[in-house]
Amino acid sequence: MSRPAANTRVVEAPAKVNLFLRVLGTRPDGYHELETLILPISLADRLEVHADADPSFRTLSISLDVTGEDALIRDVPRDETNLVVRAGLALADRTAVRGFADIALDKRIPSAAGLGGGSSDAAAALRALNELWGCGLDDPALREVGGSIGSDVPALMMGGPALARGRGERVEAVAVRALSLLVVTFPFGVSTPDAFRWWDEAGGPAGPDPEPVLEAARSGGELAGSLFNDLEAPVARRHPEIAEAKRLLLAGGALGAVMSGSGPTVFGVLAGPDARVEQGAEEEIAGLAGRPPDYVTAKGSSA
């Protein structure tokens, strides 16, 4: 690959899965109080950000080009409704930057999948633009800008496993051992507001104390049996494929399986880097989802 031009950064924006997601209730601002463990995985989008700040500019201009498989990018907006553009505008607003940013986004992460693709793109763009525009925001300030873009953005700016609380904006790095996962994505999306509304309609309740999952994630203890996601039951009621994918993952030898985020993606935890689910189960999963599942890794962190 040729060396990137001056004023250009090429950055990865990893997808995430939630090892647990606990919804503690609704908040006065309409959001939900959460506790969730967010783990970046090896499935990633790629951004090439070419940008410069110049006080002689009278305006700020941001352009976005999106490439990738047709099915992945069909519904990805190119305008200011894209979280990447919103991130750039929010950073420029906060720091009074004038100049330009030309961003090329190569999508690998499905949208509206519960994998945090749009949020991770925004997180990566914010970090790159903070450097290229010379904004000089420190990590907490940059995360604050991220939090104004979306609830998952601050956790995805941590660059490793993160425990998120509040609406998602209160984040801390946590130690999690490396994990091998099988990720099942579907050709349909689930809107995050719908998933939370369905949880409201079902009347909760909140899941168990997450300390055992956190402890197992830290220590390398038995983790797979303690995965949970409070949004899973209400979403799976509307999309039975989710329960079926979980059943097939477990039947094929995954140690545990759960829906990620607001769904519909489901992932299984595997015994180790070379582990595969049994071939028949993998074929059934591919038939159910309309595409083969993805073997991915989540890097460990000692936080």
Q: Which residues carry out catalysis?
A: 16, 152
For residue 20, the minimal CB distance to ligand C5P (Å) is 14
Phi first, then psi, for residue 223 (nearest 5°) are -105, -35
Binding test (CB under 6 A) with ligand C5P, winner from 15, 17, 21, 34: 34
Size of the residue set binding ligand C5P (CB under 6 A): 11
Greatest Cα-to-Cα distance within the chain, rounded to the nearest angstrom:
63
Contact call for residues 298 and 273 (beta carbons, < 8 A): no
Q: How far is the CB of 268 from ligand C5P (least distance, A)?
A: 25
- Other CB atoms within 10 A of residue 286 CB: 14
d(CA 136, CA 279): 51
- Residue 237 tokens, joined: 């009621």
Gap between the Cα atoms of 166 and 19, Å rounded: 17
Closest approach, Cβ 15 to ligand C5P, in A, equals 15
In the list 151, 180, 226, 260, the residue contacting ligand C5P (rule: CB under 6 A) is: 151
Q: Which stretch binds ligand C5P (CB under 6 A): 59-67, 179-187, 188-196, 287-295?
A: 188-196
Our finding on whether 117 is near ligand C5P (CB under 6 A) is no
Stretch that binds ligand C5P, among 1-9, 69-77, 149-157, 239-247 (CB under 6 A): 149-157
The count of residues in the chain is: 303
x/- mask, ligand C5P, residues 162-181, rule CB under 6 A, reads -----xx-------------
Q: Is the dihedral of CA 262, 160, 20, 279 positive or negative?
A: positive
* Residues in region 229-288 near ligand C5P by CB under 6 A: none
Residue selected from 193, 225, 273, 280 as contacting ligand C5P according to rule CB under 6 A: 193
Stretch that binds ligand C5P, among 92-100, 177-185, 189-197, 201-209 (CB under 6 A): 189-197
Identify the CA nearest to 228 among candidates 248, 201, 252, 246: 246
CB-based contact 166:173 (threshold 8 Å): no
State how far the Cα of 10 lies from the Cα of 3, in Å rounded to an integer: 10
Near ligand C5P by CB under 6 A: residue from 106, 192, 243, 299: 192
Binds ligand C5P by CB under 6 A, chosen from 133, 196, 228, 267: 196
| Residue 218: closest CA among 177, 255, 180 | 177
In the complex, which residue's CB is closest to ligand C5P? 151
Angle at 178 between CA 293 and CA 226, to 5 degrees: 75
d(CA 208, CA 89): 39
Q: Is 31 in the site for ligand C5P (CB under 6 A)?
A: yes
Return the range that interacts with ligand C5P (CB under 6 A); candidates 30-38, 88-96, 226-234, 272-280. 30-38
Q: Which is nearer to ligand C5P, 29 or 138 (CB)?
A: 29
Whether the CB-CB separation of 128 and 51 falls below 8 Å is answered with yes
* Least spacing, CB of residue 94 vs ligand C5P, in Å: 18
Q: Which is nearer to ligand C5P, 27 or 237 (CB)?
A: 27
Q: Kindly list the residues in this chain that would bind ligand C5P in the complex (CB under 6 A).
A: 31-32, 34, 150-152, 167-168, 192-193, 196
